[in-house]
Chain A
Amino acid sequence: EAGVVQSPRYKIIEKKQPVAFWCNPISGHNTLYWYLQNLGQGPELLIRYENEEAVDDSQLPKDRFSAERLKGVDSTLKIQPAELGDSAVYLCASSTEVGETQYFGPGTRLLVL
């Protein structure tokens, strides 16, 4: 069975440019998470979806970050405009339901210059 798929794996952009990340969760997993991970830190939740509904986006900087999960499967996370401080690894994870084991994708490593 395929794991969580993320693309791109790496992205380098200049500040003020937009960027988008894509995630395909494990088939059948209703819960999808987007995390931000800075070097030497643990994952920090940005947003959690239950099917297509965003049930926890309290940590998402809504002035520049947006996310969607149309049809309750794939999800995209967008930053517009990107800032230098957004350089980090963006991890997507999925689980059958909230509280269960989370399966992480390989992440997208973003560098904002």
Chain B
Amino acid sequence: GQQVMQIPQYQHVQEGEDFTTYCNSSTTLSNIQWYKQRPGGHPVFLIQLVKSGEVKKQKRLTFQFGEAKKNSSLHITATQTTDVGTYFCRMGNFNKFYFGSGTKLNVKP
């Protein structure tokens, strides 16, 4: 079956530092979505990537989809305390979807 690996599990950064989380799949994906879950909250959709090599930006967030459509990354430039939370990738393979285990980001002011 499909395996999804998301790393790192935890990341502690000083405010202003950059942050990156990675998701890797054992199989080729049809799409990938990224979600953010604040402490005590529920996952909230951030973005979807569909095309090979696709790059999308949302202010300080940059999302990439690998050329082989097997991996993706989320990069945050100059983190802020409002970025605190857990970031999940959701990897899609046609009608099957799998969430990564998440990367918990803590930002120290």
Chain A residues at the B interface, C-beta cutoff of 8 Å: 35, 40-45, 55-56, 91, 93, 98-99, 101-107
Contacts and interface: CB of A to CB of B under 8 A. Distances in A.
B85 to A, nearest CB: 13
A99 B31 CA distance: 8
18 contacts: A40-B104, A42-B6, A42-B88, A42-B100, A43-B99, A45-B98, A99-B92, A99-B97, A101-B48, A102-B33, A102-B90, A103-B45, A104-B42, A104-B43, A104-B44, A105-B42, A106-B41, A106-B42
A107 B45 contact: no
Interface residues of B, number: 23
Interface of B: 6, 30-31, 33, 41-45, 48, 88, 90, 92, 94-102, 104
Nearest to A35: B99
Contacts of B43: 43, 91, 93, 102, 104
Contacts of A45: 97-98
A41 B42 contact: no
Contacts of A91: 42-43
B46 to A, nearest CB: 10
Residue among A43, A44, A55 facing the most chain B CB atoms (10 A cut-off): A43
Q: Identify the interface centre among B42, B45, B92, B101: most chain A CB within 10 Å of its CB.
A: B42
A105 B44 CA distance: 10
Nearest to B104: A40
B99 A56 contact: no
B44 A41 contact: no
